[in-house]
Structure 1
Amino acid sequence: MANHNTFGKLGEQKAVAFLKASGYEIKKLNYRYLNAEVDIIAEKDDFLVIVEVKSRNIGFLEDISHVITPKKIKLLTMAANHYMEELDRDLEVRFDVITVVKNADNFEIEHFENAFYHF
């Protein structure tokens, strides 16, 4: 596995630990539907939370407004809709982004709730 893939998986593990510690119930990891992949699907407070994880080394994190492209939003929305159909439950869906930034031997985690809205 390439180094960036390994680092990305480590970022997802850090994000999962963060979410669990924050009271989220993790439902699925790396959920795939057609061309879409959702990093984390979680639940908390009657919300189904679709989480995109972005892992970077210090100094390489883009402006959060540019992290998720319109194409990515469309794919995540499609996957979320499919998951909701499978789940057959009535939950409100929220789209979050978690950034995991490696700074020397430390990881800084930031959680952006309602990071974007589906259209």
Structure 2
Amino acid sequence: MAQHNELGKKGEQLATDFLLKKDYVILEKNYRYLKAEVDIIAQKKNLLCVIEVKTRSSVYFGKPEEFVNPKKIKLLLSAIDNYVVERDLDVEVRFDIIAIITNKKETKIEHIKDAFLHF
């Protein structure tokens, strides 16, 4: 497996553990719809959280959250729309990013709630 894939899987596990400690219920991991993949779908009370996980080993090329582009946002929106309709859910939806920097020295996790409001 390529090194970046291993880093991504490690990041998704770190994000899952982080969310569980914050009392989120993980509903889905790697949910796919057409060309979209949602890293984590979680619930906290009556709030459905769509979470994109971005993991990097450094900020040399930019912060992890800066790598979520408008095309990815559009794909996430269509996937979660399908998810909600398919399951006939009546919930508020929030889109978050969990940005992770992890290397041999340290691991930093930042949870950016309502992340797409910042674009």
SS of equivalent to 1:66: helix
Larger mean Cα displacement after TM superposition, 19-28 or 94-103: 94-103
Residue in structure 1 matched with residue 27 of structure 2 by the alignment: 27
| Residue correspondences, number | 117
**1:61–1:101 Cα contact (<8 Å) kept:** no
What stretches of structure 1 of length at least 5 have no aligned partner? none
- Structure 1 residue 74, shift from structure 2 partner: 0.5
- Structure 1 residue 60, shift from structure 2 partner: 3.4
CA distance in 2, matches of 1:41, 1:65: 18
TM-score by length of 1: 0.91
Question: RMSD of aligned C-alpha atoms?
Answer: 1.6
Task: Determine whether 1:68 maps to 2:80.
Answer: no
Larger mean Cα displacement after TM superposition, 99-108 or 50-59: 99-108
SS of equivalent to 1:116: helix
Closer, same or farther: CA 47–34 of 1 in aligned 2, 3 Å: same
CA distance in 2, matches of 1:102, 1:65: 14
CA distance in 1, matches of 2:77, 2:104: 35
Identity of aligned residues (%): 48
Larger mean Cα displacement after TM superposition, 65-74 or 36-45: 65-74
4+ aligned runs moved over 6 Å, structure 1:
none
Residue in structure 1 matched with residue 104 of structure 2 by the alignment: 104
CA distance in 2, matches of 1:49, 1:61: 27
Kindly provide the CA deviation profile for residues 17-71 of structure 1, in whole angstroms up to 9, marking residues without a partner as x.
0000001000000000000000000001211100000000123362466322111
Kindly provide the CA deviation profile for residues 68-102 of structure 1, in whole angstroms up to 9, marking residues without a partner as x.
21111110000000110122120011000001111
TM-score by length of 2: 0.91
Residue in structure 2 matched with residue 88 of structure 1 by the alignment: 88
**Aligned residue type for 1:114:** D
Residue in structure 1 matched with residue 3 of structure 2 by the alignment: 3
**2:54–2:99 Cα contact (<8 Å) kept:** yes
What stretches of structure 2 of length at least 5 have no aligned partner? none
